[in-house]
A = this chain, B = another copy of it.
Amino acid sequence: MKKKISDSSIHRLSLYFRALSLFEMENYETVSSKELAKHEKLTPAQIRKDLSSFGSFGTRGLGYPVHELKNKIASILGIDRSWRVALVGIGNIGSALVSYKEFMKHGFQIIKLFDNDQRKIGSNHKGIIVSDIKNIQQELKESNIQIVIISVPATVAQNIVDDVVEAGVKAILNFAPINLRVPDDVILRNENMSMELEYLSFNLVNYSQEDDIEEV
């Protein structure tokens, strides 16, 4: 029976991968949990705990082998392979995402684009011809798409997601600010930028230095 890995632990694995990539470029042979922790502002114990749920990768007294651990984490995260990704809604944010090279580097290949705007359908974005949203179910299946990115207005997102789910896609990354309903076997993540700005304003209002006098 596999142990359930927490969401935060998964996210930290991404950080470790990123840090290890940098250490590798600087020709480090090994790196300790202490060094990794400093780099990503975490605690050494947490890094060791996180890694220990997947095996023993380090050497006592020495640390972790950079290259090897990086590959191991890539395999754990599933970024040692290629993922077939489609994106729906080639507007402001959609276009930015299609141009983002980092995705490709981590194995996420955007190979299909969908929109409902006649001016966009048939046009070429980074070598991909934009398909008509009408054909989405058929084309997702044909291209064997595994992950779909949603970057359409919130009002139409649920309808599109229903189609995407019906086409058998099991993983969705949503940029529309709306709580989408998907079946239990579909993994949904939301990217909500307003939320992060609101986090900042909350802290500015409630915890910034000037307010301290009120707390006495």
CA distance A78 to B204 in the complex (A): 8
CA distance A103 to B93 in the complex (A): 14
For chain A residues 147-199, which have a beta carbon within 8 Å of chain B? 147, 170-173, 177-179, 185, 187, 189, 191-199
Task: Considering the complex, give the chain B residue whose CB is closest to the CB of A151.
Answer: B96
A114 within 8 A of B: no
- The majority secondary structure among interface residues of chain A is helix
Copies in the complex: 2
A29 within 8 A of B: no
Binary interface profile of A, 15-50, with partner B (CB < 8 Å = 1, else 0)?
101110000000000000000000111000000000
- Using a CB–CB cutoff of 8 Å, the interface residues on chain A facing chain B are 1-2, 5, 7, 10-11, 13-15, 17-19, 39-41, 76-79, 83, 85, 92-93, 95-97, 99-100, 102-103, 106-108, 146-147, 170-173, 177-179, 185, 187, 189, 191-209, 215
